[in-house]
Structure 1
């Protein structure tokens, strides 16, 4: 009985490790059809702002980027915003602590995102855009979205919970067998 339970336990560990670490990924080449003018990008974007990246959080399927907003040209009023993107060849190469001029679009789920086909650019290289955009307005609503980046990842804890249950069952069965003898 103990050998059987040990075998089940070992198989569970192996399968859990395999399931959590091995996943085929699909990648697509990013192709930007055209470089849009500042005016066209402003028109097509749901939000245009400049800000500094405070924090970035990467998980398996997406990256959350928290910006401290300095100036706004379209679509926002808050002092912080979280952009979400999926890791791909179209993703921007954002760096924590850097300032960017961001042209963001709503992905349909009230989530803002930006990619390399948008005019999003480091602020130090955005002189042309800033000249054409004019002076932005300051955020009017002070918010703190740092907790938006923190989340409880149940998928990560499932194998550990399974192991704990198996250990408890193993100990319970062993004590039960000892009491029978």
Structure 2
């Protein structure tokens, strides 16, 4: 009986070790980033902009940072852009602050079958006030064009066309119905 009593705690410990898996963790480890001009050529997009919103996502352990673009060096042509980064510095994420301006070096990341822009601590992304050396090396960027493309006007055009088509189909249907009643 005493042997059984000793075996049960041992079996319980084995079950705990086998069935409870450790939580995966990641530690950020970066090599020294290349000079700014090389980082510019290697990046998918490079821009400066003000952070307007940071949205955390529980699904992919990261956050999406929305920027109002001030200046563009490469890869985008919009006045607003969203960039993904991990939640914390332990997983190489950047702690962006709403209202501050940053120089962002972004790369393409495949996420759930979609390509998105992403940046990490291993890139040269930095607060704009601390990026004067980079700005000297990469030169002046371009100011994005302020185009007035609103989705509301696109939807309004859609409804206009849909309405015209519905009226034409209705009139043709009415014409066919009247002709069939005469016969």
The two structures have a TM-score, normalised by structure 2, of 0.62
Deviation at 1:26, TM superposition (A): 2.3
- Shift >4 Å, 4+ stretches: none
| DSSP 3-state at the match of 1:105 | strand
- Count of aligned pairs between the two proteins: 123
Tell me the equivalent position of 1:103.
Answer: 105
Larger radius of gyration: 2
Alpha-carbon deviations, 1:23-82, whole Å to 9, x = none?
Answer: x74221111022211111111100000000001111213211100000000001000000
> Residues 32, 130 of structure 1: CA spacing in aligned structure 2 closer, same or farther, 3 A cutoff?
same
Alpha-carbon distance in 2 for matches of 1:84, 1:142: 24
Tell me the equivalent position of 2:171.
Answer: none
> Residues 59, 119 of structure 1: CA spacing in aligned structure 2 closer, same or farther, 3 A cutoff?
same
Q: Please say if residues 80 and 143 of structure 1, whose CA atoms lie closer than 8 Å, have aligned partners that are also in contact.
A: no
Alpha-carbon distance in 2 for matches of 1:140, 1:59: 30
Structure with more relative contact order (C-alpha pairs < 8 Å, separation 6 or more): 1
Alpha-carbon distance in 1 for matches of 2:24, 2:57: 16
Alpha-carbon distance in 1 for matches of 2:52, 2:141: 20
Contiguous gaps of at least 5 residues in structure 2: 1-21, 151-183
Tell me the equivalent position of 1:43.
Answer: 41
Q: Please say if residues 33 and 39 of structure 2, whose CA atoms lie closer than 8 Å, have aligned partners that are also in contact.
A: no
Contiguous gaps of at least 5 residues in structure 1: 1-23, 146-181
Tell me the equivalent position of 2:85.
Answer: 85
If each structure's strand is expressed as a fraction of its own residues, which one has the higher value? 2
> Residues 131, 28 of structure 1: CA spacing in aligned structure 2 closer, same or farther, 3 A cutoff?
same
The two structures have a TM-score, normalised by structure 1, of 0.63
Alpha-carbon deviations, 1:144-179, whole Å to 9, x = none?
Answer: 89xxxxxxxxxxxxxxxxxxxxxxxxxxxxxxxxxx
The answer to whether 1:116 aligns with 2:121 is yes
Alpha-carbon distance in 1 for matches of 2:142, 2:126: 19
Q: Please say if residues 47 and 74 of structure 1, whose CA atoms lie closer than 8 Å, have aligned partners that are also in contact.
A: yes
